[in-house]
Structure 1
Amino acid sequence: MQAITLEAVKRETGKSAARRLKNQGYVPAIMYGKDMTENIPLAVEYTKLQKLLQKYGRNVLLNVVVNGTTHTALIKEIQEDTLKGKIIHVDFQRVSMYEEIEATVPLRFEGIGLIESKGGIVQHQLWELTVESLPDKIPQEIVVDLSHLEIGDTLFVKDIPVPEGVKVLDDPEEIVVSILVPKEAGEEEEEEGEGTAEG
């Protein structure tokens, strides 16, 4: 994974400073992590951050440039305004390219349409995996092909292939998806009738 450059500036702390940054089109951030004696309060341009996330996702490896100094980092956490859907704060974690770290990687499922065309229902149990690897080996997402599954099948964590150099930390026996048989209309009516009789 090639590191993407993101410009940032040091910021003042406090509510008035935060409002001023917001009015100027910046979002507050903080950097902490490897070999840092103290956290660095930062600010990044909102539009640039948003475009970066849309293009590369949250697991992108970054070169965060602060006053001419480059820090290799990952996005550790993003806080959002749930009502407006806007980013209000970002945590950057500085990392070493030679030390493995943990990360959460989203799963992207393919082949759902084929299963549904056979009459199956895909029941999701897990949408992401926790992995450990060197920073430049962390995948932005893991593609899970479901097209080979049949009705009644179950896919476990251990069944998901991951890139070389990536170790999955989740329980290998944890269920990711199950392919269920849809209920027949007659069965549903029968269950409803039983429920009414019991009442």
Structure 2
Amino acid sequence: MEQLVINAKTRKDAGKKYAKELRKTGSIPAVAYNEKGESILLEVSAAEFSKAWRSVTKATLVNLKIDGQDNQAYIKDTEYDIKTDKNLHADFYIVSGKKPVTFNYKVHFSGTPAGVLKGGFMVKHVTDVKVKALPQDLPASIVCDVSKAEIGQKITVADLNLGDKITVLTRADSVIITIAPPKK
């Protein structure tokens, strides 16, 4: 997938009045934090941000161009008004790519377990997995193929094949799913 680009300009002004004026021009106020804890006040196009925000996950890197300079960043948070369907503010986290980051992923399931096709029930246990890796090595999502699971079998965190560049922080013996026998 091609990396999304969000253009931003630095700003000096802050406050509610300035934020309202900025929103009237089609931009939103934003703040970018770096790994040292420093912050930069920004303004970004509301339409450009909204388009990117709707198509990324928390672990998706975007190219945040601040005054024309490329920065790899995550969209950390946004203030969203559900009544007007508009983003009001955005927070970014700029990464260097040299320091590992930690993320919690919701486990997504693919396939129908063989045991379920034979009348069993899939029981979900651990639904989130915590991982640590360099930003460029993080997956967009974690998918667990459950199609081969038979009645009485379990799939654990250790069974997830995430590669050698990702450190899984969740206990390896944690059970993700089990296939229970049919009720009699």
- TM-score w.r.t. length of structure 1: 0.74
C-alpha separation in 1, matches of 2:78 and 2:182: 38
- After superposition, give the CA deviation of every residue in 1:78-123 in whole Å (9 maximum; x if it has no partner): 4545777754443211111222221233422101375543323333
1:98 and 2:94 aligned = no
**Same amino acid, percent of matched pairs:** 28
Deviation at 1:170, TM superposition (A): 1.2
Counting only pairs closer than 5 Å after superposition, residues 46-57 of structure 1 correspond to structure 2 as: 46-57=46-57
Q: Structure 1: state its 5+ residue gaps.
A: 185-199
C-alpha separation in 1, matches of 2:86 and 2:71: 25
Aligned residues: 183
Q: Structure 2: state its 5+ residue gaps.
A: none
C-alpha separation in 2, matches of 1:84 and 1:153: 48
- Which residue identity lines up with residue 20 of structure 2 in the other structure? R
Partner of 2:17 in structure 1?
A: 16
- Which residue identity lines up with residue 18 of structure 1 in the other structure? A
Measured on the aligned residues, the alpha-carbon RMSD in Å equals: 2.9
- After superposition, give the CA deviation of every residue in 1:14-69 in whole Å (9 maximum; x if it has no partner): 12223333344434321112346x31122333332333244443322222111223
C-alpha separation in 2, matches of 1:22 and 1:114: 53
**In structure 2, the residue corresponding to 1:48 is in which secondary structure?**
helix
Equivalent residues of 1:149, 1:179 under 8 A apart: yes
Counting only pairs closer than 5 Å after superposition, residues 69-108 of structure 1 correspond to structure 2 as: 69-81=69-81, 87-108=87-108
Structure having the larger proportion of residues in helix:
1
**In structure 2, the residue corresponding to 1:60 is in which secondary structure?**
coil
- TM-score w.r.t. length of structure 2: 0.79
Partner of 1:44 in structure 2?
A: 44
